[in-house]
Chain A
Amino acid sequence: MTMRDCPDGAIRDLLPLYVSGKLVATEQARVASHVATCMDCATEAELLRTVARAFPVPMLDVASIVAKLPTPRVVPIHRQPLWRVAASLALFIAGTATVLAVIGRQPDAAQVGLVQPVGTQTGAAPETTLAVATSTGGSPAANGALLSLGEELSDLTDAQLELLLGSLDGLDPRPQADPMTIATPIIQDRTQAPSRNNQ
């Protein structure tokens, strides 16, 4: 019996996978069409089938093999050590308390709009006032001009009261920005506020 090698090495390389059906469908069809017309490859494929059949597989007792396998180490939740449960609970409580404490320290939105009068702001220059953008709207400049006069309403002159009322009418009640997004106060020159307000 003389067997020759097909000159197509790539096909010969695939013959074992072709015989065992391990090729993708397109490859399987390509090799099959070659084998159908190539006596050398057909002979080699038959030899490979014979090899695959030639080695009898001893009978195996699957149940016996499985019985000797280790059991997976799965620990049910009710059998977990008590300290693990306690630690998990403590962690949850601590986390919750932290979140609540952080929320409790958030500045009240209504208080954000408060502006301290000139002179009461520690370290503030005499000619400037601190104006924080408020949730009630209006430009910081306008708010600073109107609400930082540093005097009681009863001490204001009629002209000042008219100016104040006129400016209040001009305030936009809608918020111009999310107060939480404004991190730094806006320092405004008090002397420039009226002129900006008049624009």
Chain B
Amino acid sequence: MAPNSSDERAVDAALIERWKAGDQAAATAIVERHATALARFAASTGERERIDELVQDTFVRAFNSIHSFRSDAALRTWLFTILKRLVLDRRRAERRQGVHVELEPTHAVQSYNALDSLVADETAQQVRNAVAALLPMQRDVFMLRVTDGMAYSEIATVVGSTEGACRVHYHNAMRAIKEWLSDDA
């Protein structure tokens, strides 16, 4: 489905080998290739602070265990999986400290007020609210599919589900967003 997935894997695999051989520039290339997508996904999960720290921790953890990475797997999927775990770890820690409030549909409108200055477009704001109103699993699947063009099989790996379930989550999310926007109009 994705035309360049094997090429992308080959490029990542070559960069990893270069880094293992001591080429630090390869690490820069890897970060440049994936950091933006990771940050966008982190933002879409409701993380609004220290996203750069999440992305950085993702890469640090990945490079520390790069020897366990299988070359036939997709580096991007692996990075997203690590990021997803870090987000969950952070939320657990914040919940224990009473800091973080899990995004709920009723909090959706307020949740992105801080981003209003970044995106003024009213439709975009409505869409953000609609996405925030999704169930966490629906939201993760939907955003990975829409913003990163991931295959359902890759998404399933990231979110720890099955390909078929991810397909259902995506279409349910799309239906919910349409309903949200219809009600909001």
Contacts and interface: CB of A to CB of B under 8 A. Distances in A.
22 contacts: A14-B1, A16-B146, A16-B170, A17-B2, A19-B146, A22-B149, A27-B1, A47-B178, A50-B123, A51-B127, A51-B131, A51-B177, A52-B147, A54-B125, A57-B43, A60-B39, A64-B52, A65-B55, A68-B56, A72-B21, A74-B20, A74-B22
B117 to A, nearest CB: 10
A70 B63 contact: yes
Nearest to B23: A72
Which of A17, A64, A70, A72 counts the most B-chain CB atoms under 10 A from its CB? A72
B99 interface: no
Interface in B6-40: 19-22, 24, 27-28, 31-32, 35-36, 39-40
Contacts of A53: 119, 121, 124
Contact of A60 (B44, B55, B142, B171): B55
B64 interface: yes
Interface stretch (A1-9, A153-161, A183-191): A1-9
7 interchain residue pairs of minimum CB distance = A22-B149, A20-B149, A1-B185, A54-B124, A24-B3, A74-B22, A3-B178
A59 B50 CA distance: 11
Nearest to A59: B52
B31 A62 contact: yes
Interface of B is mostly: helix
B148 A20 contact: yes
A48 interface: yes
A71 interface: yes
Interface of A: 1-3, 5, 12-14, 16-17, 19-25, 27, 44, 47-48, 50-66, 68-72, 74
A163 to B, nearest CB: 76
Contacts of A51: 127, 131, 142-143, 146-147, 177
A55 B40 contact: yes
Given A23-B1, A66-B31, 7 more contacts: A3-B182, A25-B3, A57-B39, A62-B32, A64-B52, A66-B28, A72-B21
